[in-house]
Amino acid sequence: MAEAIVRLRAAGCVFAEDEATVLAGTAADGTELAALVGRRALGEPLEQVVGYADFCGVRVRLRPGVFVPRVRSELLVRVAADTAGPGDVVVDLCCGSGALGLAVRHRQPAIDLYAADLDPVAVACARDNLDSHVYQGDLFDALPTSLRGRIAVLLANVPYVATRHISLLPAEARDHEPHTALDGGADGLDVFRAVIAGAADWLAPGGIVLSEITEAQAGAAAAAIRAAGLDAELRSDEDLEASVALGRKLVTRLR
């Protein structure tokens, strides 16, 4: 254990003691511990090394190369869980590990949960976490058509980093999370706009679509939501440093 702490500290891990404890709790023996410490020292996120992340009260299984759920995404989970009721269809689009859907279902156990992602590794990981209803494909193409017009809550934690900002991300993200999980195009909103453009067809009347964004993206995100014929709302949480753009499908459209 002492050797692990020294190695992690030398590699620049600020919380070397805590991380060594987590790694030691995962490793079956000293040989495995040394291997895990080696991976962590090379910069792999702790959660990918130990194979899990604790997120919003649930333990999420992770695989190398799958996006690590962020603490700030609790805001998405909170809004989704406050909106969804028993029997409601909830979709975790761009699900990565499935962390958001899993956490919403933890708070609202009777929802009808579906998840989808483009990346086959993420899909396999989400299947580890969400026993069923996990699909692979590009955004809505992945979903069963039977969900069209029936989704009460469409969670879409899309990639939203502007391409020119990718190089500013911590190496853990740049080197160990897929580019497709991070890069949202020139202003970071390419995938967001594609989700919003398709959302009205898939939402039930009164249903909502919600995505994490940056504060700087709020104006453009709200404009995209309104352009799609949805009501736009912005939510934020200072403690979590999180902003969420929300679109609601009107129950009756005014002419």
Ligand X SMILES: C[S@@+](CC[C@H](N)C(=O)[O-])C[C@H]1O[C@@H](n2cnc3c(N)ncnc32)[C@H](O)[C@@H]1O
Residues that bind ligand X (CB under 6 A): 67, 69, 73, 94-97, 99-100, 117-119, 122, 138-139, 157-159, 180-181, 191
Residue nearest to ligand X (CB): 96
In this complex, which beta carbon is closest to ligand X, that of residue 5 or of residue 60? 60
For the four alpha carbons of 114, 119, 124 and 126, in that order, the dihedral sign comes to negative
* The token pair that represents 51 in the structure block: 């194979």
Helix axes of 120-129 and 99-107: crossing angle, nearest 10 degrees: 20
Considering the complex, what minimum distance in angstroms separates the CB of residue 129 from ligand X?
11
In this complex, which beta carbon is closest to ligand X, that of residue 3 or of residue 138? 138
CA gap 70, 177 in Å, rounded: 13
Considering the complex, what minimum distance in angstroms separates the CB of residue 33 from ligand X?
27
Considering the complex, what minimum distance in angstroms separates the CB of residue 178 from ligand X?
6
In this complex, which beta carbon is closest to ligand X, that of residue 24 or of residue 180? 180
Considering the complex, what minimum distance in angstroms separates the CB of residue 85 from ligand X?
22
In this complex, which beta carbon is closest to ligand X, that of residue 37 or of residue 95? 95
Q: 18, 139, 121: which is closest to 62 by C-alpha?
A: 121
Number of H helices and E strands in the chain, helices first, is: 10, 9
In this complex, which beta carbon is closest to ligand X, that of residue 49 or of residue 181? 181
Considering the complex, what minimum distance in angstroms separates the CB of residue 31 from ligand X?
31
CA gap 135, 118 in Å, rounded: 9
Side chain identity, residue 4: A
* The token pair that represents 15 in the structure block: 């919380």
DSSP lists the bridge partners of residue 113 as 90
